[in-house]
Amino acid sequence: MTSGRAAVPFRNPGWAGNVGEFDLTEDEVRGTSYVGPIPADGGHPGAAPARPYQLFDRHPAAPLFEGPYRERFEKLLSRYPSAQGALIPVLGLAHELRGHVSPETMAEVAALLGIPEAEVRGVASFYTMYNKRPVGRYLVQVCTNISCSLCGGDEVLAGILEETGTELGETSADGLFTVMEVECLAACGFPTAIQINSQYFENVTPADVPALFERLRDEARSRLGASREAAR
Amino acid sequence: MAYPYTHPKEVRVLSRGWGEPATRTLDGWRALQGYQGLAKALEMGPDAVIETVKSSGLRGRGGAGFPTGLKWSFMPKEKSGAHYLCCNADESEPGTFKDRELMRWTPHQLIEGCLIAAYAIRADHAYIYCRGEFFEANLVLARAVEEAYAAGLAGSDVLGSGVSIDVTVHQGAGAYICGEETALMESLEGRRGLPRIKPPFPAAVGVFGRPTTINNVETLCAIPHIVREGGAWYRQWGTEKSPGTKLFCVSGHVRKPGNYELPMGFPMMDLIRDVCGGMPEGRSLKAVIPGGASVPIMTAEECDGCALHYEGVVERGSMLGCASVIVMDDSTNIVKQVRRMVDFFAHESCGQCTPCREGTSWLSRVLRRIEDGRGTEDDLSTLLSLGDEMTGTTICVLSDSAAAPVISSIQKFKDDYLALIPARDKAGVA
Amino acid sequence: MSATDTGTTAPPGHVKVTIDGQEVVVPKGTTILQAAQKIGIEVPHYCYHPALSSPAQCRLCLVEVVGAPKLAPSCVTAAQDGQVVQTASEKAKAMREGVLEFYLANHPLDCPICDQSGECKLQDYVFAEGRKHGRAREPKRVFGRDDFGADILFYGDRCVMCTRCVRFMEEVAGDPLLTVVERGNRSVIDTFFEEGLQGSPYAGNIVDVCPVGALVSKDFLHKARAWDLEHIPSVCPNCSQGCNIELHVRDGLVQRLRPRLNPEVNGHWMCDYGRYRYEGLNRRDRIEAPLVGRAPARRASGWSEALDAAAARLREGAPRGGQARVLAVASAEAPNEDLAALRSLVDTLGGGDIVFRSPRAEEEIPLPGMLTLARRRDLAPNVHGAELLGMRRVGGEDGTGGLDEHVRRADVLIVLGDELPDFGEEFGRERAVYLYLGSYETPGAAAADVVLPVSTFAEREGTFTNFEGRMQRFWPGLDAPGASRPAWRALFALRAALAGDEAPGTVEEAFHHLTRLVPALEGMTLDGLGTEGARARTEVAAATRAGD
C-alpha cells in the first residue's frame, strides 16, 4: 500500500505495540512484495481459491464469469472432484466482482455449478463473510472478542463508530465505511485487531483511529478521483 | 526469532525465521534446511515416516492433542481410490494466533509438512483450509504453493520420485465451526459446515467420501523437523506424554503478549511473569484461561506451579487445548468476559443440535441480564444446570466449550457474579 | 463381554440386545431405536424418520448404554451383541427433560391457535417427561409466519429444526426446494427467497412429517381440532395406485386425507393430487331415496317396492331364453363387490356387454425416492377391478363419450355409478328397460324406470383393486345419507329375485361371490386382506387384464 506520497506516520499494521523489537515496513509485514501483483485469472490452479474477495472496487452487474475471471472459474472447478466442492471459492469470486452476494448472484452461481438454488442460499447464508447486501467501500471489522476486549476493544469500536459517524452494521453517509463487530481475528497478541477489507490493522488504540481513517479517506479520494478522471 | 518479542528461554524450532521477510521465500526456507525433510521422507517410504512420527510422540496441536502418528496409521495402507490430507488452518479459537504467524512467516514450512504428511498417508491431494479472514496468509501461502510447484516440490512428480501430490489453498468464508474436523470436511465439499456424527471416522469416510486425515497447522509444521532429525530428537523437550515444543499464544493483561515457542511443560507462572514481562504496572493476576475460550478458567492460585503440558493442566482442572494463554488481571470484569465468550459461541453455533442451538443463546441472554444488574441468584443455578445439560450431549464439542467458561467461572468466581446481583435477588436475604 | 454374560444365542448375522430389561434379537446393523420399536418401546425422537436419512441432531433419542461414558443417540447407534440399554433410566430421563426444556425455551405458547395441538409431538413428549416449570424467562426469538406456496404455511417460531422437511424434499420428493438458512439460534427453514413449493407434486407430505405445528396445511388451517377427528382406514379414490389413507372425519364430513403406512404400495406418502381431492366425499347432491317411474311421473318409494318394480321390468324386458340385448355401464369408481354383483346380474339376464368410462391423465407423476409410487394415469381407484371382471373400457381420455353406439343397440340398460356428464335427460329414453344405480343426482337418470340410491365407498366396507392387482379394503367413515345402500345389495337382490335363489347378505359373502367370478382371486377372503391388502395371482391377473 505504500505510494509515492509521504507516508502518514503510523506504527500499525503489524507493529508490536510501542516496544516492538522489529523495525519492519508495512510491506514487509504484509508480505506484499513477496506476493506480488494478484492475478485476475487466479494464477496457479492450486492458488486460485485463495484470493481477496473484499475489494474497494466492485461492479454489482459484473458478468459471471468472463475473461480472466472465467479462467479462474475453470481453475477452481479443476481443484475439486465435484462441482459443489468449488462452491465456496466460486461464491468468493462472485463476491469479489460484485461486492456482495445477492439472490440473483446465488441463482447464477447455482446454475453455473448445477446445484439447487435453495442449497446455494443455505450455504451462502451460513458463512459470515459473504455480504448479503452492499457495504461501504471499506468494510471495517472490529474484533471485540475476549483478548481484544480485555485490552480495550470496546473503546476502539466506539471510537470508530464516532469517527465514521455510523451505527453498528450500517454504512456511513459518504458510502465509505461499514462498521461491524467480528469474532476473534487471530491477532490476539496485537490488541485491538481490526480488519478493513482484506487487510489487518493491529495494535489499534482509540488514539490511532483518526489517523487510520484519515489514511483511508485519502486513499478513497485518490481512487475515486482517479476513476472520475478516467470517466471524463 | 519469534514475532514480535523474543526471549532467551525460547526454543525456536517452528518459529525460526519469524520476522525475517526472506523466510517466506523458497530460497529462504531452503537456507533453514527447508525440504530436506521431504527428501528424506521420500527415501524412507510412507510407513517409516509414520513410525518416525509415532516415535516422536507428537500430539495434535489444534487442541485435541491426539497422537499424530497414530492418527496417520488409521489411513488405509492399500489404496482403492483417492486419499486426502486436510490442513486445518481455520484458526478461530479466541486467544489463538499461532497458525497465522506460521503461515505468514514460514509458509514453506507448512507446505513441506503437508507434502510429507500426504506422502505418509498416501494422499493425492492436500487441501490447506485456510480461514477466510486470513487474506494475507492466504496470499502468502498461495504464492509459496506456486513456488513449490515451479520447483517440482508439489505436483505430479515430487522431487523426481514419481509420487504425485497436489496442494490447494482453500480459503474459507467465516465460520469458527469449520475448525471442527468433520465440519471442515463438509465445508470443503461446498456445504454448510455442520459437524458429522462419528462413526464413520474420517480415515474411513472423509472428504468427498474418501479416507482423509485432518491435521492442524502447527502439527504439520513440526513434521519436517521430526522427519529430518528423527523422532528421538523431538523428545529432547517436554515430557513422556507431552514431548516437543509448543507455540504458546499469550494475550490479555501482560506486557509482552505474543507467540513464544517453549518446551512443553514450561511453568505457567514463568511464562507470564518472566517471558511475557509480567502484569501491567500495579496489577495482580486474577484468572488465566490456559487453552483458548473453550477450556475452564483457572484462578491465580491454580496457576501457581502449573506446568503447561497436556497432563499438567488437566491436573489443575482445565485443559491445555491449543495453548492460548489468556491472562486476566484484577481489573477484569469476569462476568462481562464470560458473556462475551458465550456470545461468540452463540454466534458460531451451527444450529444442528438442540442443546447447543438453544443453550448457547439462552446462556448468553441470562449472562447479559446478570451483567446489566438484573440477575438473580437462581439464575446462577440455572446456568450451572444448563451448562451441565450442554456437556457431552451433542455431535461436536462446541456446546461443551460454551459451557466450560460458564461453569468454571460460577464455581470459582462466584463473588464476581454476586456483586452484580441486586441484594433483594440474593438467596437468604430478607 | 462381561464375565456375567451368559453368552449370546443370537443366530449368525444377528445380535441380542437387552432394552429396558427385555431381550430382543435383531439383524446386525439395526439401530437401538429400531430394535426398541420391535418390542414396543418407543424412544422419543424428532429428526429420525424410517424413510429418511438420520442426522442424529435433535438429541432427543439419547439412551443410556450400560458401561458407556456418554449417552448414545439410539437412532444411529447400531445395537451390539450383549449390550444392555436403558431408555428410561435416571440419566436418560434427565437428558430428555433437559432437551425438551431447550426446545421450549424459544417455542411460542401457540397451542390454543396451533393446528397441531392434539397430535403434536412436542406436547406429547413434554406432557410425558418434561419439566413441570420451565426456567426460560428471556424474550424468545421470533421468525413469524412464512407462506411457502402451494398448500404450505410455515410458522418459524414453532419449528424444532428437525430438518425432516428439508430432507424429505431432497431425498424423497427429488425437489430440493427447502434449505436451512443462517446458523445457530438464527437458523430457520426457508425456500429460495420468493420461490415456493408450488408445482412440487408431493410437497403436502412435509406437513405430515413435521412433528410440531411449524408446517401446516392451508386447506386444513383452523378447520378442525385433531382430537375431534375420527381416523378411518381407507384407500385413496383418486387414481389407480391405491395409496392407503385415512379419512379424518368430523361432523359427518371428511376434513382431510392422510396417508397410511403400507410399505408395498405407498410407503409413508401420498401425492398432492390425491390428498386434496376429498371434497367429493362431502357432496350434498345425493340421491337419497329409491325412485320409481320415468320423469316427470316419478315418485320416491321404499326399497322393497323399488326392487320389485325393477325386477318386474327386467322380467318383461329380458325374459328367460329370450334374445334381449343387455348393456351395463359400470364405473371404475365402484368397489369390487358392486361390480361383481353387476356382472352376476348381467350373466343371469343371459349375458351382455359391460363397459365403463374413466379419465386418464397424460402422464404419471412418480415419486423419485420411491419409484413404485406414482400418481397413475388412471384417475379412478378400481379400473383394474373392473377389467378383472371382464368389463371393457370405452370412451375418451376425459372419461366421456363411447356410449352412443352401445346404448342404441340395447334393450336393457343398467347404469352403475357413471354420472353421465355428457348426456342429458333424453339418455336411455328409447330403451325398453333402464335401471340407474348411483350416488348423485344427474339429468342422465331422468329417463330411468327405477333409480336406486348407492352409498359411496366412504360409507361402507368393501375393496378396490389397484393397478397391480392388489385388493385393498376400506372401512366406513361417513353415514350413508337417506336410504342409500351399497349397490351390491340391490344388484344381488335383483339377481336373486330373477334366478330364484339367495342373495349374499354380508360384505364377506359378497366378496366371496367375487372370488368365484375371477380366477385370479380364488381362495382370497376379505379378512385375509388385513389392513395392507394382498395381490391377486399375477399371472392369472395379467391374462385377464384387457389389452394392456
- Tens of pLDDT, residues C437-447: 999 999 999 99
For residue C35, what is the DSSP state? H
| Cβ atoms of C463 and C323 closer than 8 Å | no
CATH number, span C291-543: 3.40.50.740
Grid coordinates standing for A153? 476493544
B394 interfacial to chain A (CB closer than 8 Å):
no
| Cβ atoms of B216 and B60 closer than 8 Å | yes
pLDDT given for residue A10 in this prediction: 37
Chain A nearest-CA distance from C29, in A, is: 30
Neighbours of B238 (CB within 10 A): 22
Q: In chain B, what is the greatest distance between 2 CA atoms, to the nearest angstrom?
A: 82
Last residue of a domain, one of A91, A108, A133: A133
Are B127 and B227 contained in the same domain? yes
Give B106-161 pLDDT, tens digit per residue.
999 999 999 999 999 999 999 999 999 999 999 999 999 999 999 999 999 999 99
pLDDT given for residue A16 in this prediction: 36
Provide the phi-psi class of C234: left if phi over 0, else alpha when psi is between -120 and 50, else beta. beta
Give C58-100 pLDDT, tens digit per residue.
999 999 999 999 999 999 999 999 999 999 999 999 999 999 9
User: C14-88 belongs to which CATH class?
Assistant: alpha beta
pLDDT over 70 (residue A232): no
Task: Using pLDDT thresholds of 50, 70 and 90, give the confidence band for residue C8.
Answer: low
pLDDT over 60 (residue C253): yes
Give A94-143 pLDDT, tens digit per residue.
999 999 999 999 999 999 999 999 999 999 999 999 999 999 999 999 99
Task: Using pLDDT thresholds of 50, 70 and 90, give the confidence band for residue C321.
Answer: low
B352, B359, B362 ranked by CB distance to C138: nearest = B362
pLDDT over 50 (residue C395): yes
User: Residue A146 belongs to what domain range?
Assistant: 135-231
| Cβ atoms of C106 and B365 closer than 8 Å | no
Give B183-202 pLDDT, tens digit per residue.
999 999 999 999 999 999 99
pLDDT given for residue C543 in this prediction: 53
Are B116 and B80 contained in the same domain? yes
pLDDT given for residue A205 in this prediction: 87
Interchain contact, A119 vs C193, CB within 8 Å: no
Average pLDDT for B222-245? 97
pLDDT given for residue C322 in this prediction: 67
Task: Using pLDDT thresholds of 50, 70 and 90, give the confidence band for residue B226.
Answer: very high
Residues 6+ apart with CB under 8 A from B343: B364
b/e map of C488-498 (b: 16 or more CB within 10 Å)? bbbbbbbbbbb
Q: Identify whether B14 is part of a domain.
A: no
Task: Name which of C181, C182, C191, C200 to mutate to probe chain A: the one with the most chain A Cβ atoms within 10 A of its Cβ.
Answer: C181
- Neighbour subunits, C (≥3 Cβ pairs < 8 A): A, B
Q: Identify whether A83 is part of a domain.
A: yes
For residue C80, what is the DSSP state? -
Domain count within chain B: 3
C-alpha distances out from residue B12 to B24, B111, B223, B323, Å: 16, 19, 15, 16
Interchain contact, A125 vs C182, CB within 8 Å: yes
Q: Identify whether A203 is part of a domain.
A: yes
| Cβ atoms of C178 and A118 closer than 8 Å | yes
Q: Identify whether A19 is part of a domain.
A: no
| Cβ atoms of C45 and C111 closer than 8 Å | no
Pairing assessment for the beta strands C72-73 and C62-65 based on DSSP bridges: antiparallel
The amino acid occupying position B403 is A
CA distance C443 to C499: 32
pLDDT over 60 (residue A6): no
Grid coordinates standing for B180? 471442527
H or E stretch covering B51: helix B46-56
Composition of chain B by helix, strand, coil, percent to 5: 45, 15, 40
Task: Using pLDDT thresholds of 50, 70 and 90, give the confidence band for residue B425.
Answer: confident
C-alpha distances out from residue C343 to B122, C353, C384, Å: 74, 9, 15
H or E stretch covering C463: strand C462-465
pLDDT over 80 (residue A231): no
| Cβ atoms of C450 and C428 closer than 8 Å | no
Are B252 and B198 contained in the same domain? no
pLDDT given for residue C537 in this prediction: 78
| Cβ atoms of B15 and B222 closer than 8 Å | no
Interchain contact, C192 vs A106, CB within 8 Å: yes
The domain that holds A70 is classified in CATH as 1.10.10.1590
Domain count within chain A: 2
The amino acid occupying position B256 is K
DSSP string, C208-255: HH-SSTTEEETTTTTT--GGG-EEEEEE--SSTT--EEEEEEETTEEE
Grid coordinates standing for C231? 381416523
Residue of A nearest to C187 (CA): A126
The domain that holds B272 is classified in CATH as 3.10.20.600
The answer for A 162-191 residues in CB contact with B (under 8 A) is 182-191
- Ordered by start, the domain boundaries in chain C are 14-88, 291-543
Give C341-370 pLDDT, tens digit per residue.
999 999 999 889 999 999 999 999 999 999
Average pLDDT for B236-251? 96
The answer for B 279-318 residues in CB contact with A (under 8 A) is 289, 293
pLDDT over 90 (residue C20): yes
Grid coordinates standing for C93? 430421563
Are A152 and A86 contained in the same domain? no
| Cβ atoms of C191 and C178 closer than 8 Å | yes
User: Residue B249 belongs to what domain range?
Assistant: 245-329
pLDDT over 50 (residue A3): no
Task: Using pLDDT thresholds of 50, 70 and 90, give the confidence band for residue A11.
Answer: very low
Query: In a 10 Å sphere around its CB, with 0-12 CB exposed, 13-18 middle and 19+ buried, how is residue C320 labelled?
Result: exposed
Higher local confidence (pLDDT), C296 or A135: A135
Grid coordinates standing for C248? 379424518
Are B373 and B398 contained in the same domain? yes
pLDDT given for residue A9 in this prediction: 32
pLDDT given for residue A27 in this prediction: 86
Chain B nearest-CA distance from C122, in A, is: 13
Give B317-376 pLDDT, tens digit per residue.
999 999 999 999 999 999 999 999 999 999 999 999 999 999 999 999 999 999 999 999
Interchain contact, B362 vs C60, CB within 8 Å: no
Q: Which residue has the cell 463487530?
A: A181
- Strands (E) across B133-256 are located at 166-171, 212-216, 245-252
CA distance A222 to A231: 14
Interchain contact, A127 vs B132, CB within 8 Å: yes
The domain that holds B409 is classified in CATH as 1.20.1440.230
Phi and psi angles of residue C454, each rounded to the nearest 5 degrees, phi first:
-115, 140
Are B75 and B218 contained in the same domain? yes
Q: Identify whether B178 is part of a domain.
A: yes
pLDDT given for residue C290 in this prediction: 98
CA distance B212 to B205: 7
Last residue of a domain, one of B272, B297, B329: B329
Average pLDDT for C216-232? 98
Phi and psi angles of residue C199, each rounded to the nearest 5 degrees, phi first:
90, -10
B162 interfacial to chain A (CB closer than 8 Å):
no
Task: Count CB pairs under 8 A between chains A and C.
Answer: 33
pLDDT given for residue A227 in this prediction: 64
What percentage of chain A has pLDDT greater than the value 70? 88
pLDDT given for residue C1 in this prediction: 44
Grid coordinates standing for C238? 383418486
